[in-house]
Each structure stands twice: as structure tokens, then as C-alpha cells.
Structure 1
Amino acid sequence: MKSMVIGGIILIIALMTGTYFMAGDSFALGEDYINDLTMLGAVAIIGITVFVALKYVNQIKNDKATGELKEENWDGIGEYGNNIPTGWALMFIGTIVWMMWYFFIGYPTNQFSQIGQYNEETNEYQAKFESKWNNISQEDLVGMGQSVFLVQCAPCHGIDAEGIDGKAQDLTKRISKESVLDVINNGANNFKTDFPGGMPAGMASGKDAEEIAEYVAGGLKGTAPAMWAACSSCHGENGEGMDYVAPNIKNYSDKLVATVLKDGKKSIIGSMPSFDGRLSETQVKAVANYLRSIGE
């Protein structure tokens, strides 16, 4: 047993030395009590773990099984009905107590957090930004939208918004004939947040689908086809959509752009990821105004 204790002490010293060697620069005693507690916890965990392991290794080597055997056995192999070891029970309860302390009192739940500070500063800046541009003019709004577009959107849609060889939606017009046909044939449910019902497939087919696709892709100009009535029941007679029913298919309204940026979009070209949280409300509105200005 004496040799095991000596070995345990040597192991503790070796582990603590290795810990301090790897992270010692972070633990300047007295400068940050959180780091001091962390180092103290490391010492406690290493010490308790080693000595508990030594205790039970010694018991395994020297103790003999005692107690009353249970009636159940398997091929003559049974187990004693002894209580759980006191040491293990105390460790279990202690772990729960420590967990509750750490969760409600310890770091980082109620202490300084760089992430928390960053979020506070970001929210403060966003509020300042929104306040500054609360009464922005139409000209400034379009200019802001162009700046945001060039940074956030142009890498895929191109600086001219024409989609870079068809790899992304051509934003100089609301929608292409091919896209309209794809939605008519296969349905769509891109905007689950604002339009949870989606659009079912097969609302039209054949010549009727072709006529609707041409009408919508052409900006809803001219005489509406006979089957347009089926579409207008949700999208509205002017194609500008209905809240919580169907999106605008005539132009890039503020609500449509906000919905696309929030939910992302899947089309025949590919999938656009969500930009939720990356732009402020004013910036989203600015992008919508810019898109409408280049499509006019």
C-alpha cells in the first residue's frame, strides 16, 4: 500500500506539472479569480481521482467479498446485496452539488463574457443605426441598398444582378418563365415563416401552364390568361400577394425580399442560404428598394 501511495503522489505531481506547463500562462494567481478557481478545481479533480482510484485498487487487491448473497444467480454466479460504497455515493452527490453551483453561480453564466459583450455592443450599434436612418430618403435608401447588395449579394448574383451565367437568380426581373413552370408543376414551400401553406403542385398543365408562365414572367402585363383566376385567388389579381397566403410574384416588395433573406430559397438553379440576422430591417428594406430600381 505504501508504494501505491508514493506512486499516487508522484502521479499527481506529474499531472499538475503537465497542466501548469500547458496552461500556466493563463493562471496568474490573484489576477482573475475565475482562473484561480479553475486551477484549484484541476488540483482537486486530479487529487481526488488518483486517491479514490488507489483506494479501490487496494480494496480489489486485498479485501474479500462479504455480505448476504441474493437469491438470483446464473450458473452459480451471484452477487452480494451490499450497499453502494460510501465514497462513490459522496462523489455522486458532490458532483450534483458542484453542477448546480456552476450552473447558477459559477462562470460563465453570471460573469463577464466576451460573447455577451460583443452581443451587447452589436445590439447597441444596430439600435443606433436604425435610429440614424429612421427617416432616410428614397435616394439614400436605394444607395444603401446598392452598397449592401454589392457586399452581400453580388458574389452570387453579380454586380449587374443578372445572376453570373445563370448560376443565381437574375434579379433584374422578378421571375423567369422556367421558374414559374417549375413551381406550377412541382409546387413550392420556400417561405414557411410568412407563407406556411406553400403552393401545391399541378394548379395548371399544358398550354394553360405555358400561358400563365409567360404572363407572370412578363410582369403581368397585357391580357391575363383564362387560368389566371386560379392563381389570383391566392396571389391577388395584381399578383402582389396576400399576407400569410402567397408571396408577391410581380415585383420585389419589401416583404418578399425580407422573407427570402430570412428563409432562403430553393429553385431550379439551386438553393440560396438564409441571411437571417445578418442585415438590419433598414438594410433589408434598402435592398428591396434597390432591386425595384434596377428592374424598372
Structure 2
Amino acid sequence: MGWLSDNVNLFSLIAAIVILVLTIFIAGLLIKKMRDSKADGELTDHKWDGIAEFKNNIPIGYAICFLGLIFWGFWYMFVGYPLDSYSQIGDYNQQVDTHNKKFEQKWQNLDNTDLIQMGEGIFLVQCSQCHGIDAEGMDGKAQNLHRWGKEEGIIYTIEHGSSGLGYPIDMPPFEGAISKEDSKAIAVYVMNVLSDKKKNINDVKDSNKRSVLQDEIKKGKQAFDSMCASCHGNDGAGNDGMAADLRKYGTFDFVKNVLEHGKKGNIGEMPSFAYRNFTDTQIKAISAYIGSLQPLSDE
């Protein structure tokens, strides 16, 4: 009987008993009246085939119950439940929040290898139904995540466009309008200069490779300023929310945004996973796992 400790349940039980008692009492009075009353009284002017209707006032008990039910309904909605008291949904959300805080405390110091392992487990349970257990997108049914967050992902987006992330501007496909060389250069520029994932170019030990990369970045900046900056801004920040913030491409923040809002893309619709209440550690793990995937050799 522990459920009686809940005030809403207790009140509902008492109200149900009162309604049942009143119903039996009033029904008994009306049945007695039908059995004992005589066919007399004031008739209305409405007649049909010689049959007329008595002028009967609304039973006082019925009127009291009706008005009482209206007042109770207002109390129930605005004072008792669900706006100002216990609810199963609210209780569930509190339990999830408590669990997530314990989860964050326990796993907050994972290294990258452990994050990748955790992310793979989450991916297989939550994402593989659409993206496939190999994350290749199941022959175009969903995005191929092997290229996402990398230069290959930028090139794919330039060629095929992007839509459905909730920005006022959808990106049209530029295949044919931008050469493959310029697409590659823009991708190098975005991933090495704009994205928070950028690497230090000075870490490239081979001077020839570093020189080639610097030339590619310079060429990519010129192409970006010409073709992309009008929507994404010169700094790639997205012009105050008009387009995607390329500084966050491939990062935790970008993954979190997609999981929370979903995506209606050219391939299909990805629902929002906000209901799933992923913790920041879980999102970092998903991001780490996707980042660990290598582009396929034929891309």
C-alpha cells in the first residue's frame, strides 16, 4: 500500500469513493421517485403523438456534483497535478538526472581509447539501425560516418550539399560548380585552420609536405572566401546562426547539436535524440568513436 503515500493517488481514491457514494445515493432517490411518483405535475407545451414532457428542474445533487467537478478540474490542473505537484514523468526525469550525474562522476576521466570503446557500444545500440554496424550508412540509407568530421566529409558536403540542421540557409550541391581541386583545398583549409580540430602545421616534420600543405591551405582560403564566406562568414562561424559554424565541425559541440536537434538531410530524416538524455561523457564517447573511423579507400 506504499502508493497511498502519494497525495495525488490518495486524493484520487477519496474522490472516486465520494463520487461512487453520491452516484448510488442519487440513483436510489431517482429510482424511488420513478417507482412511487404519480403522473402529475406541470407539462411543457411540447407534445408528440399525444405525449407531453413534465417540467422538471435539474436535481440539486446533480448540479452540485457538476459544479464541484468543474472546480476540482481547475484545482487538479493548476494546483494538484500536473503543474504543481508529483508526476510520473517528472519523477522519471529526476531519476534519470540523478543517474546521469553519478555516471558523469564515475566516467569523467576516461582516456581517448576508453572513450572510443564506450562510443562504439553506444553507437551499436542507438545508431547502427540506420548507419549500419560498420557506420558506412547502409548503402546510402544514412550518412557514411567514416568520412564525417574529416576532409572527406567536407568534400562530400560541397559536392552533395547539406540541409536540415535548422539553419535559415540550406547549402545546395556544388558538384560541377567547384572543381575537385578547389573542393580538396577548401576541405584542407577548413580542417586545418577553421575547425577546432585543427592540427599544428609545424608538427609536419617533412618540410616538403609542410610546404605543400601551406600552399593547399592558401589556395583553400582563396576558394573559401570566394565561394563559402558569404554564408559561413570569413571566420567560418556561420554568420550569427545563418549557416553551420565550421569551427565546430567534427567536434563534440557539433555532434551534440545534431543529437539534440536531429537532421532532415538529402538522404533521410534523423530524429532528435534529446529524449535519450545523453550525458556529455556519452556524447564525447560517440564523437571519439566517429572520429576514430577512417575514410574508406574508394572515397
**TM-score, normalization: structure 1?**
0.62
Who is 2:285 aligned against?
A: 286
Instruction: Work out the CA distance in 2 between the residues paired with 1:163 and 1:56.
Output: 70
1:121 pairs with 2:76: no
Does the 8 A contact of 2:161 with 2:174 survive in 1? no
Query: What residue number does 1:91 align with?
Result: 65
Give the direction of change, closer, same or farther, for the CA distance of 1:191–1:165 in structure 2 (3 Å limit). closer
1:171 to 137, 142, 145: 145
Q: Which amino acid aligns with 1:232?
A: A
Q: Which of residues 246, 250, 253 in structure 1 aligns to 2:251?
A: 253
Q: Is the CA contact 1:191–1:260 (under 8 Å) kept in the aligned structure 2? A: yes
The answer (yes or no) to whether the contact 1:264–1:272 under 8 Å persists in 2 is yes
Asked if 1:215 corresponds to 2:212, the answer is: no
Structure 1 residues 195-239: Cα deviation after superposition (integer angstroms, max 9, x where no partner): 4x33376xx87842x548971798346444858524223324575
- Equivalent AA in structure 2 for residue 198 of structure 1: I
Q: Report the Cα distance in structure 1 between the residues aligned to 2:62 and 2:185, rounded to whole angstroms.
A: 72
Deviations 1:96-124 (A, max 9, x none): 3544665545899756x665554333211
Aligned to 1:11: none
Q: Give the aligned partner of residue 7 of structure 1.
A: none
Q: Paired residue for 1:17?
A: none
Question: Larger relative contact order (C-alpha < 8 A, sep ≥ 6)?
Answer: 2
CA distance, structure 2, for counterparts of residue 122 and residue 59 of structure 1: 57
| 2:230 is the alignment partner of 1:233 | yes
The gaps in structure 2 that reach 5 residues or longer are 47-52, 190-215
How far apart, in 1, do the equivalents of 2:269 and 2:97 lie?
29
Contact 1:232 1:239 in 2 (8 A): yes
| Contact kept? 1:177, 1:213, Cα under 8 Å | no
RMSD: 4.7
Note the residue ranges of structure 1 that are not aligned, 5 or more in a row. 1-27, 74-78
Structure-2-length-normalised TM-score: 0.61
- 1:114-147, CA deviations, whole angstroms, 9 ceiling, x for partnerless residues? 6555433321121122233444434433333233
- Pick closer, same or farther for the CA change 1:234–1:285 going to 2, 3 Å: farther
CA distance in 1, matches of 2:231, 2:113: 33
Aligned residues of 1:145 and 1:289 also touching (Cα < 8 A): yes
After TM superposition, which residue ranges in structure 1, 4 or more long, deviate above 6 angstroms?
A: 33-37, 79-83, 106-109
Q: Secondary structure at the match of 1:274?
A: coil
Distance verdict in 2 for CA 1:237–1:89, change over 3 Å: same
Number of equivalences? 252
Partner of 2:20: 46
Distance 1:257-1:31 versus aligned 2 partners, 3 A rule: closer
